[in-house]
């Protein structure tokens, strides 16, 4: 931020920006009193931020106005939330206090602003004075979700704040940009998804991709534009056909068409290892109907489904029924993929109420509850919020473990199983009967001995399937077992077992410490601080050395791989110092972790970055920086949870080294294709091969080549060269396992 006296032009811009918010608030406010409160909040914030500018040079007040617009227009919150959004930076960035806000705007708005101020203060605090085994950022994220216990609107306004920061991230310095993007990917995007804010989630994902996978984003965006040029008129014809069919059946509905986002396409290509052309649901058409009083919304969804599938051929494996059993975040819709003019189109069928919840998520969910209209997704959403609150209320919850638990729950897809009385319960896909037992109640889990799934006796490790009915058999004399940790899926069940094991044995820490000392002594190694720190990092222990000893003592860590762990750093590949350049960074971070000695760089073995890849650095030891691709999940995790370790780097202009990469390819088998591939690499492109793997079956061949390249330009040349070889249908760079 900077200061300079506003001009008349600045004041005009501010008034113009506020006008759009004023009109939106006018529609949203219940009465004149609420509307006047919004006007007062704007005038208060405008005066508080007077003559202060953002990095972009625009008046700072533009940011709170933009956040308030997102709050009302894209999330659908009301008067108090609009006021809190306008005031959310006042206490942190100006001379006004929380008490000033309370006196002028009342207790509720003051509490919202106070919650937002605490979150902002925590996220902006880069001064990490604690030991490396703890993460200040994890504590900060825990603080964010603690607001769910107070008022969930704080989290929703914070998401709006983060969205606007993402929209203007080009004005951030690079080191700050990477921290914000990593935090966004690791916690805010999954949180937006779980709260049902799909549009916000999608926009954040696309911005993340633009900065971390810029070439892929540009390529996929270009392919989508080409598709619209060639197939756009056919989509319009399909929409017209569907519209006429609905009108012919006296169904009042509106139809919206959309294109899948570049990030969602790229992610599906990555996870399924398929080319762009094999993405089924590039297009989607949404039918939003106005319900009739004589049938339930679910019945009307299925009636429209029958009309659609009666007119067009559909793919039965692509039917998704979220009206019979809504998602955990309350999402309700019926999806079917149909064939039209040689292309697949996804059709989404939902009522106006369902669409409101799909677009505004948890905000719409609660507004319907307050209006006494109970959507069928209520129980699922409330159970998830209860789950988060249960974790938060555990005073022993370690911050990093908490973050990992919630992150897992945010991302995991769910199945639905039933109790013996028919109550539906949501569990992560892959959950076992024992996970179900702990989901019902911790005491049932602790005393479980077996289960009945669909009336058939099974072991507690049996993996449940969607629709199973489960009964847990218990015994008062039964106790938790250490081996349960090997098959439990849910973090809440695992944590309950670990806590129970702690209660069963008070000397776990002492036992684990003695076991480790004995194992190290057998190798002639003293149990020094640097050795313990290395083990804590390698085993990903979040609670420090006490947690390490405890997990050894209860058998979670058996030390069988101790020799491998102690030699972990030997696997990293050194890169000469001139291969990278440190960019502008937080001076405190550099001073705290990097001395005046020469910095040593390693490239990571998890993502194998090569020159041309967008990269970031992670401080792993004194004067040691490990280089990752910024799209690497390991890097994203560290940047989001331990941002103080992140430094901004870039490749130097001169590098002589070769880097190992893998090219995957497949196509129609023919005589001589392998010879032509290797000839292209060795003779024409001058590439040094390390390994070739290729196999053919049923006239199709597929394989990969490991080879040494200098940069991403080499990769691009190879892919372009391969694409010209007759018979090759797909070629791409993939990660080395």
Pick the CATH number of 412-475 from 3.20.20.140, 3.40.50.720, 3.10.110.10, 3.10.20.30: 3.10.20.30
Fill in the DSSP letter of residue 666. Answer: E
Mean pLDDT across the stretch 3-11?
85
State the Cα–Cα distance between residues 490 and 647, nearest whole angstrom.
Answer: 34
Mean pLDDT across the stretch 372-387?
48
Secondary element (H or E) of residue 457:
strand 456-458
Predicted local distance difference test score (pLDDT) of residue 479: 83
State the Cα–Cα distance between residues 157 and 87, nearest whole angstrom.
Answer: 11
Set 31, 36, 92, 150: catalytic member: 92
Mean pLDDT across the stretch 365-384?
48
Report which of residues 43 and 557 the model is more confident about.
Answer: 43
Mean pLDDT across the stretch 2-22?
88
Check pLDDT > 70 for residue 593: no
Q: Annotated catalytic, 92?
A: yes
CA dihedral 576→580→586→591, nearest 10 degrees, is: 20
Look up the pTM and report it: 0.64
Name the phi and psi angles at 524, rounded to 5.
75, 30
Return the CATH architecture of domain 659-734.
2-Layer Sandwich (3.30)
Give the start-to-end residue ranges of the domains of the chain: 2-170, 214-370, 412-475, 508-553, 570-651, 659-734
Is 590:647 a contact under the CB 8 Å cutoff?
yes
Check pLDDT > 50 for residue 626: yes
Predicted local distance difference test score (pLDDT) of residue 571: 40
pLDDT above 70 covers a percentage of the chain that reads 79
Let me know if domain 2-170 sits in CATH 1.10.3210.10: yes
Predicted local distance difference test score (pLDDT) of residue 103: 93
Exposure string of 14-32, with b = 16+ CB inside 10 Å and e = fewer, is beebbeebeebbeebbeee
Predicted local distance difference test score (pLDDT) of residue 132: 34
Which residues 6+ apart lie within 8 Å of 462 measured at CB? 432, 433, 451, 453
Mean pLDDT across the stretch 270-279?
81
Report which of residues 224 and 571 the model is more confident about.
Answer: 224
Report which of residues 474 and 278 the model is more confident about.
Answer: 474
Confidence band (pLDDT; 50, 70, 90) for 496?
confident
State the Cα–Cα distance between residues 18 and 62, nearest whole angstrom.
Answer: 8
Is 325:318 a contact under the CB 8 Å cutoff?
no
pLDDT above 90 covers a percentage of the chain that reads 25
Predicted local distance difference test score (pLDDT) of residue 222: 92
Check pLDDT > 50 for residue 401: yes
Check pLDDT > 80 for residue 555: no
Per residue in 511-553, pLDDT tens? 888 888 888 888 777 777 778 877 887 777 766 777 788 788 8
Check pLDDT > 90 for residue 467: no
In CATH terms, the fold of domain 214-370 is: Beta Polymerase; domain 2 (3.30.460)
Is 557:623 a contact under the CB 8 Å cutoff?
no
Mean pLDDT across the stretch 173-178?
82
Mean pLDDT across the stretch 713-734?
82
Secondary element (H or E) of residue 340:
strand 334-340
By residue count, the chain amounts to 737
Note the Cα 641 to chain centre separation in Å: 13
Mean pLDDT across the stretch 576-600?
55
Check pLDDT > 90 for residue 289: yes
- Report CA torsion sign: 541, 547, 549, 553: negative
Q: Annotated catalytic, 11?
A: no
Set 93, 321, 620, 716: catalytic member: 93
Confidence band (pLDDT; 50, 70, 90) for 310?
very high
Mean pLDDT across the stretch 7-15?
91
195 CB neighbour count, 10 Å cutoff: 27
Predicted local distance difference test score (pLDDT) of residue 504: 65
Per residue in 116-164, pLDDT tens? 887 766 566 544 333 333 455 556 566 666 655 556 788 888 899 999 9
Mean pLDDT across the stretch 367-378?
44
User: Range with the lowest mean pLDDT among 126-135, 412-421, 601-610, 653-662?
Assistant: 126-135
Predicted local distance difference test score (pLDDT) of residue 434: 94
Confidence band (pLDDT; 50, 70, 90) for 413?
low
State the Cα–Cα distance between residues 494 and 491, nearest whole angstrom.
Answer: 5
Is 115:90 a contact under the CB 8 Å cutoff?
no
Three-state secondary-structure class, residue 614: coil
Check pLDDT > 50 for residue 584: yes
Predicted local distance difference test score (pLDDT) of residue 144: 61
Predicted local distance difference test score (pLDDT) of residue 585: 54
Confidence band (pLDDT; 50, 70, 90) for 569?
very low
Which residues 6+ apart lie within 8 Å of 290 measured at CB? 252, 253, 351, 352
């Amino acid at each position: 931020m900077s200061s300079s006296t506003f001009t008349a032009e600045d004041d005009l811009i501010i008034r113009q920006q506020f006008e759009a918010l004023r009109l939106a608030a006018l529609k949203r406010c219940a009465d004149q009193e609420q509307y006047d409160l919004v006007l007062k909040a704007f005038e208060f914030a405008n005066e508080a931020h007077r003559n202060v500018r953002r990095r972009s040079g625009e008046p700072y007040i533009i940011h709170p106005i933009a956040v308030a617009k997102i709050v009302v227009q894209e999330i659908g919150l009301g008067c108090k939330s609009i006021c809190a959004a306008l005031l959310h930076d006042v206490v942190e960035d100006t001379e006004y206090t929380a008490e000033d806000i309370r006196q002028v705007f009342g207790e509720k708005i003051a509490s919202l602003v106070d919650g937002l101020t605490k979150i902002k203060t925590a996220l902006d605090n880069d001064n990490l004075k604690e030991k490396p085994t703890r993460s200040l950022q994890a504590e900060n994220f825990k603080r964010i979700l603690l607001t769910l216990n107070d008022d969930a609107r704080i989290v929703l306004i914070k998401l709006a704040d983060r969205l606007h920061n993402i929209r203007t991230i080009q004005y951030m310095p690079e080191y700050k940009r990477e921290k914000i993007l990593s935090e966004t990917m690791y916690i805010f995007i999954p949180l937006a998804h779980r709260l049902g804010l799909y549009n916000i989630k999608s926009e954040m994902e696309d911005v993340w991709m633009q900065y971390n996978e810029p070439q892929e984003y540009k390529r996929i965006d270009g392919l989508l534009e080409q598709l619209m040029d060639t197939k756009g008129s056919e989509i319009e014809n399909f929409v017209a056909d569907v519209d006429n069919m609905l009108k012919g059946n006296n169904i009042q509905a509106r139809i919206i068409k959309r294109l899948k986002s570049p990030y969602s396409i790229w992610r599906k290509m990555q996870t399924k290892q398929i080319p762009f052309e094999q993405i089924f649901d590039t297009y989607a058409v949404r039918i939003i109907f106005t319900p009739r009083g004589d049938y339930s919304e679910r019945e009307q969804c299925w009636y429209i489904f029958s009309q659609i599938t009666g007119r067009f051929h559909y793919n039965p494996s692509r039917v998704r029924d979220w009206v019979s059993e809504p998602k955990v975040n309350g999402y309700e819709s019926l999806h079917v993929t149909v064939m039209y003019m040689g292309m697949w189109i996804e059709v989404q069928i939902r009522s106006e109420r369902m669409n409101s919840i799909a677009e505004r998520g948890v905000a719409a969910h609660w507004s319907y509850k307050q209006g006494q209209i109970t959507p069928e997704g209520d129980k699922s959403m409330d159970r998830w919020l209860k789950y988060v609150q249960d974790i938060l209320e555990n005073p022993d919850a370690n911050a990093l473990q908490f973050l990992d638990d919630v992150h897992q729950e945010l991302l995991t897809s769910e199945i639905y199983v039933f109790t013996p009385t028919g109550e539906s319960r949501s569990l992560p896909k892959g959950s076992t009967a024992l996970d179900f037992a702990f989901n019902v109640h911790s005491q049932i889990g602790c005393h479980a001995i077996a289960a009945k799934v669909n009336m058939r006796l099974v072991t507690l490790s049996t993996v449940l399937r969607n629709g199973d009915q489960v009964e847990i058999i218990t015994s008062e004399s039964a106790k938790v077992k250490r081996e349960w940790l090997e098959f439990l899926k849910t973090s809440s069940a695992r944590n309950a077992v670990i806590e129970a094991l702690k209660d069963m044995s008070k000397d776990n820490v002492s036992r684990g410490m003695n076991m480790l000392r004995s194992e190290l002594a057998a190798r002639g190694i003293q149990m020094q601080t640097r050795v313990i720190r290395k083990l804590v990092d390698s085993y990903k222990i979040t609670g420090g050395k006490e947690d390490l000893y405890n997990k050894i003592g209860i058998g979670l860590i058996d030390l069988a791989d101790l020799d491998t762990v102690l030699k972990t750093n030997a696997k990293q590949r050194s890169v000469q110092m001139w291969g990278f350049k440190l960019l502008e960074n937080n001076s405190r971070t550099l001073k705290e972790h990097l001395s005046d000695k020469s910095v040593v760089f390693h490239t990571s073995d998890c993502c194998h970055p090569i020159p041309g890849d967008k990269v970031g650095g992670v401080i792993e030891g004194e004067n040691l920086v490990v280089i990752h691709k910024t799209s690497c999940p390991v890097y994203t995790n560290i940047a989001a949870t331990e941002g103080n370790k992140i430094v901004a780097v870039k490749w130097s202009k001169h590098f002589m080294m070769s880097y190992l990469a893998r090219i995957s390819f497949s196509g129609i088998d023919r005589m001589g294709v392998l010879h032509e591939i290797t000839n292209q690499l060795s003779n024409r492109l001058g590439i040094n091969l390390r390994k070739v793997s290729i196999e053919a079956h049923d006239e199709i061949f597929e394989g990969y080549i490991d080879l040494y390249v200098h940069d991403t330009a080499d990769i691009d040349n190879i892919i372009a060269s391969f694409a010209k070889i007759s018979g090759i249908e797909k070629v791409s760079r993939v990660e080395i396992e």
